[in-house]
Amino acid sequence: MSAVSTRTRRRSARGAKGTRAIVLAGGRGTRLAPFTSVLPKPLMPIGNRAILEIVVEQLQRSGFTDITFCVGYLSHLIEAVFGDGTGRQVQIGYVREEGALGTAGPLRLVDGLAGTFLVMNGDVLTELDYGALLDHHRASGNTVTIATQRRTITLDYGVLRVEPGGAGFDVVTAYDEKPEVQSAVSMGIYVIEPAALEYIPPGGYFDFPDLVDALLAADEQVGAFLYDGLWLDIGRHDEFERANELWAANGNGHHAETNGRPRAIPR
């Protein structure tokens, strides 16, 4: 993906004005245990800042100033850090999950979703231009647009192709040692039309894959926005460590920019 110019970024920010952003910040972060036994995953530190602080700053710079946090586990700590957004040039509200609702279930608790809105996981570190994603969605006619990246996955096994042989014995026709598979994967960032909310059941656990399946079954249009830049899921130990390594390598200041875009890991 080509670098986004400052002018394009400012135009995207104007286009995002008035668009709500929903940040999913209620997970327990079990993959980062034992750290998340005392700290909610969105408050895990990248250098001297919480990941969620970086996310909120990026949303604000992209024009999203009406933000709702869907919180659950250790939510009082998130509220203590962010309050109502005073001092961050955003307005922050909260939806509190009484139990595990999945990644799409909390949306049924958010009031006033009458227009296009952005949804993202609260542990995502990326240089994706959220305004450009919003522009793409509006031009596409999608009910949901999923920010997507191609990832190469190495299987840590020797993979066999097995076919039935004679006399009831299976035979091996190919052997591939630790093959690589390239797939388009969700970045955990979505732009959604209010019509999609009709496919979320009124109660129970419901994930985004469940929502996408329901939309596709109803012939609703679901699109992808391919992005090949920086994207880290800091809920994974290796990517959390990489994020902190990148932070340590960035010594150019809090508002440093790269090719017209704000760095994802400001100091």
Give me the residue spans of the domains in the chain: 6-154+184-262
Provide the whole-model pTM: 0.82
Percent of the chain with pLDDT over 70: 84
- Strongest mean pLDDT among 76-80, 151-155, 208-212: 208-212
Average pLDDT over residues 168-183: 90
Query: For residue range 195-211, what is the model confidence (pLDDT) as tens digits?
Result: 999 999 998 999 999 99
Is the pLDDT score of 30 beyond 80?
no
DSSP alpha helix (H) spans, the chain: 6-16, 51-61, 75-82, 130-140, 208-217, 237-249
Q: How is residue 116 written in tokens?
A: 């296009």
CATH topology of domain 6-154+184-262: Spore Coat Polysaccharide Biosynthesis Protein SpsA; Chain A (3.90.550)
Q: Reduce the DSSP state of residue 67 to 3 states and report it.
A: strand
Q: Reduce the DSSP state of residue 229 to 3 states and report it.
A: coil
Is the pLDDT score of 151 beyond 60?
yes
Average pLDDT over residues 164-192: 92
Report pLDDT for 82: 94
Cα→Cα distances 90→52, 222, 260, Å: 13, 29, 22
Report pLDDT for 261: 40
Whole-angstrom distance, CA of residue 118 vs CA of residue 65: 12
